[in-house]
């Protein structure tokens, strides 16, 4: 990810001795003369503009200041000896730096002011000097805010006893429902042959005897089949993809630019996209404003028509007799999956019809129209056994 420099601004620091605010480049307090110790943090200014002076920018980009290991004096980056005691700075400590801050500090917070301790003039929070007398401003001398008044809690009443009454009523309803279910609902069992079942009749329980199967005479009344086959042929389909992936022979190609990938570096047909600016403490009284940027690379994305082989239809045929026939398929097309189904119908003396579906051609051919069978039918009207007569 590329980092784009937006500009530089000067920071400030608050003197721990007198509370005065000082420009970040000042190494001693302009109010009391106390030196800035390494424990004192830089702060962001409000309403501070970007620096345009190239000489000041050169100072900002040099890097963090160095504190002398002997006297604690703050020295600019690149210094070899301490400006106060002359000691070698090779053993000095580099000031902390790299802390990130929000970049949105262009407006003074509404309702906040600093009162000059010398003349009493009200000044905006971001001011370093009094606009009336020019004295350094103490950041702690802010105008008192109106204290908030806490509201009494009016929801202190005790809960009534209605909740307990509702709970008892619900419990009684549940118990009553269980009793009714036990008294008036029957339990039963009905197997394949109606062996037995139990039912509730007027508060008492009776066991019904099983219904016996029925033996009947039946005749094969029809023998039919149905066949189907998939018809395979060319199908026009609309597909999409990047232009360099469009296959040869594609028709009706239509393309539009679309984001294809993101690059850390600028390449052909790319657009720079940057995030929200943020500030980095340079460790020398200045902050650098940067944006993290990437490049969205665009390419042609197309829709096109191609032909592929697939199922275009299902051909079907049906008929009667022992020999099923395949449906007709034009010779221009191929044949896909095939299926066949068989149906046998029998009719008993009373005219009732029974249907069988043989699972194979050999089983289907065992039946012929007009052949007679003795069938055993259960209470559900299903054939459970049969024998040719």
Instruction: Please check the confidence at residue 2 and state whether its pLDDT lies above 90.
Output: no
Q: Are residues 13 and 58 in the same domain?
A: yes
Two tokens, residue 147: 């204290």
Residue in 241, 227, 234 with CA at minimum distance from that of residue 316 = 227
Residue in 105, 98, 6 with CA at minimum distance from that of residue 52 = 6
Lowest average pLDDT, out of 125-139, 179-193, 215-229, goes to 179-193
Q: Give the mean model confidence (pLDDT) for residues 54-83.
A: 94
Rounded Cα–Cα distance for residues 284 and 42 (Å): 9
Instruction: Please check the confidence at residue 141 and state whether its pLDDT lies above 90.
Output: no
> How high is the pLDDT of residue 125?
67
Q: Is 138 inside any structural domain?
A: yes
Rounded Cα–Cα distance for residues 56 and 182 (Å): 93
Instruction: Please check the confidence at residue 107 and state whether its pLDDT lies above 70.
Output: no
> How high is the pLDDT of residue 156?
43
Q: Are residues 172 and 136 in the same domain?
A: no
Rounded Cα–Cα distance for residues 203 and 201 (Å): 6
Q: At 17, which helix (H) or strand (E)?
A: none
Q: Are residues 41 and 109 in the same domain?
A: yes
Classify each residue of 277-293 as buried b or exposed e, where b means 16 or more C-beta atoms within 10 Å of its C-beta: bbbbbbbbbbbbbbbee
User: Please, which pLDDT band fits residue 126 given cuts at 50, 70 and 90?
Assistant: low
The answer to whether the CB of 307 falls within 8 A of the CB of 248 is: no
The answer to whether the CB of 90 falls within 8 A of the CB of 76 is: no
Q: Are residues 27 and 84 in the same domain?
A: yes
Based on the structure, what is the number of domains in the chain? 4
Rounded Cα–Cα distance for residues 300 and 305 (Å): 16
DSSP letters along 348-374, please? ETT--EEEE--SSHHHHHT--TT-EEE
Structural domain harbouring 105: 1-145
Q: Is 124 inside any structural domain?
A: yes
Q: Are residues 93 and 3 in the same domain?
A: yes
Q: Give the mean model confidence (pLDDT) for residues 90-110.
A: 77
Q: Is 80 inside any structural domain?
A: yes
Q: Is 225 inside any structural domain?
A: yes
* pLDDT, tens digit (0-9, with 9 covering 90-100), for 39-50: 999 999 887 889
DSSP letters along 270-315, please? EEEEE---EEEE-SSSEEEEEEEEEEEEEEEEEEEEEEEEEEEEEE
Q: Are residues 239 and 204 in the same domain?
A: no
Provide the β-strand partners of residue 204.
201
* pLDDT, tens digit (0-9, with 9 covering 90-100), for 335-358: 999 999 999 999 999 999 999 999
The answer to whether the CB of 63 falls within 8 A of the CB of 42 is: no
Q: Is 160 inside any structural domain?
A: no
Residues contacting residue 290 through CB under 8 Å, at least 6 positions apart:
3, 4, 5, 6, 277, 278, 279, 280
Q: Is 339 inside any structural domain?
A: yes
Residue in 351, 40, 323, 52 with CA at minimum distance from that of residue 216 = 351
Rounded Cα–Cα distance for residues 312 and 331 (Å): 14
pTM of structure: 0.50
List phi, psi (to 5°) of 170.
-65, -40
Q: Are residues 299 and 237 in the same domain?
A: yes
Lowest average pLDDT, out of 105-109, 166-170, 366-370, goes to 105-109
Q: Are residues 51 and 189 in the same domain?
A: no
> How high is the pLDDT of residue 137?
74
Rounded Cα–Cα distance for residues 346 and 386 (Å): 11
Q: Are residues 80 and 222 in the same domain?
A: no
Q: Are residues 274 and 322 in the same domain?
A: no
Q: Are residues 94 and 187 in the same domain?
A: no
Q: Give the mean model confidence (pLDDT) for residues 170-185.
A: 69
Is 316 exposed, middle or buried (CB count within 10 Å of its CB: 0-12, 13-18, 19+)? exposed
Final residue belonging to a domain, choices 173, 208, 243: 208
State the residue for tokens 């000044």. 123
State whether residue 200 is helix, strand or coil. strand
Q: Is 152 inside any structural domain?
A: no
Rounded Cα–Cα distance for residues 185 and 164 (Å): 32
Q: Are residues 25 and 81 in the same domain?
A: yes
- Residues of the chain with pLDDT > 90: what percent? 68
Q: Give the mean model confidence (pLDDT) for residues 103-118.
A: 63
Q: Is 286 inside any structural domain?
A: no
């Amino acid at each position: 990810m590329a980092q784009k420099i937006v500009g530089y601004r000067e920071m400030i620091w608050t003197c721990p001795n007198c509370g005065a605010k000082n420009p970040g480049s000042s190494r001693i307090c302009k109010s009391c003369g106390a030196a800035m110790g390494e424990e004192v943090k830089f702060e962001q200014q409000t309403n501070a503009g970007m620096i345009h002076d190239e000489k000041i920018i050169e100072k900002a980009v040099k890097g963090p200041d160095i504190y002398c290991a002997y006297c604690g004096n703050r020295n600019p980056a690149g210094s070899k000896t301490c400006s106060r005691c002359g000691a070698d700075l090779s053993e000095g400590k580099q000031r902390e730096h790299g802390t990130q801050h929000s970049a949105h500090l262009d407006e003074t917070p509404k309702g906040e002011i600093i009162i000059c301790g010398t003349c009493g003039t009200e000044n905006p929070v971001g001011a370093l000097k009094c606009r009336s007398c020019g004295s350094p401003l103490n950041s702690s001398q802010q105008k008192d805010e109106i204290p908030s008044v806490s509201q009494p809690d009016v929801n202190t009443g005790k809960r009534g006893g209605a909740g307990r009454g509702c709970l008892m009523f619900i419990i009684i309803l549940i118990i009553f429902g269980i009793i009714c279910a036990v008294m008036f609902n029957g339990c039963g069992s009905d197997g394949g042959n109606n062996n037995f079942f139990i039912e509730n009749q007027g508060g008492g329980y009776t066991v019904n005897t099983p219904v016996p199967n029925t033996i009947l005479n039946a005749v094969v009344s029809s023998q039919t089949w149905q066949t189907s086959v998939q018809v395979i042929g060319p199908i026009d389909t609309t597909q999409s993809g990047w232009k360099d992936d469009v296959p040869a022979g594609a028709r009706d190609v239509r393309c539009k630019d679309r984001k294809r990938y993101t690059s850390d570096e600028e390449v052909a047909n790319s657009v720079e996209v940057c995030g929200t600016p943020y500030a980095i403490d340079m460790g020398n009284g200045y902050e650098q404003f940067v944006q993290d940027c990437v490049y969205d690379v665009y390419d042609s994305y197309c829709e096109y028509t191609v032909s592929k082989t697939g199922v275009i239809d299902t051909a079907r045929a049906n008929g009667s007799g022992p020999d099923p026939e395949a449906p007709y398929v034009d010779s221009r097309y191929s044949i896909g999956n095939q299926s066949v189904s068989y149906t046998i119908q029998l009719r008993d003396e009373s005219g009732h019809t029974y249907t069988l579906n043989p699972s194979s051609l050999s089983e289907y051919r065992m039946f012929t129209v007009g052949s007679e069978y003795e069938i055993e039918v259960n209470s559900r009207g299903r054939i459970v056994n049969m024998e040719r007569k």
